[in-house]
Amino acid sequence: MNFFRRHIIFITIALSLVGILVFFMLQKNDLQHEVPASAIPAPLTQRMSGMVTRYGSNGHGDIDKMLMKGKAGQLWIHFPPHAARFVLQATDRQVAVTIEYTADIHGKGETNNELRTITVRRNHLVDLRSIPPPPPSRGDEVTVSGNKFYIRKDEEGRMIGFVLAGTLVVLPPHIAENLMPMILTAQELTVKGQQRSDEDGFVNVYGKVLRPSSITVDHQTYLVQ
């Protein structure tokens, strides 16, 4: 009995030592993988002088980037869509400007250039950090109708809405999926809804932006919820 008892005690001690060793090894590995906040590089602040040659937009047609051309070449610079009206007013494509932007390098080596300020002729400064997003708003109640329209899709080929009478009608995904067959063959469309205010600062390449509350397709009305 004493022999077996000694073996049991020995095995128990050995397992305890192995457990302690494994615990410290795991702790060491965790410490090796931890990256202190100070080691993460902050976005680099850059300056560039030149002229804006083009503007770009997101999947819904809201302008949110510009192509700057300077001595070193061309560079796409992104900015918040709600700041587009201020950016376009300051960056007339016939006027040289100086911009300040941050270059944030991601883990995959991609660089995101985010606009911070625009200086025009040294005396007109637009600071995008001082332009807050607009507060939530229902917009103005409007009605648009017509028999000429065209479908708009995002970069992945999904229908996001249609342009009618110079207005982009933005549809929720489930509404777009259900109404697309009827919209594609419609002879007449009438849309009621809330139109985004120009005061919000957005600029859309298709014109006005409308979020519908109802859509009438050839005299058949569908509520949008």
Residue bearing the bigger pLDDT, 1 or 177: 177
Q: 79 pLDDT exceeds 90?
A: yes
Long-range contacts of 7-10 (CB under 8 A, 24+ apart): none
8 A C-beta contact, residue 79 and residue 116? no
What CATH code is carried by the domain that includes residue 182?
A: 2.40.50
Q: How far is CA 168 from the centre of its chain?
A: 18
Domain housing 185: 140-223
What's residue 121's pLDDT?
73
Look at residues 96, 87, 86 and name the one whose alpha carbon lies nearest to residue 49.
96
Residue 172 in domain: yes
Question: What whole-number percentage of the chain has pLDDT above 90?
Answer: 44
**84 and 54 part of one domain:** yes
Count structural domains, the chain.
Answer: 2
Residue 31 pLDDT class (50, 70, 90 cuts): very low
| Residue 94, C-beta contacts closer than 8 angstroms, at least 6 positions apart | 51
Tokens of 37: 């906040």
Q: Are strands 167-170 and 97-105 parallel, antiparallel or unpaired?
A: unpaired
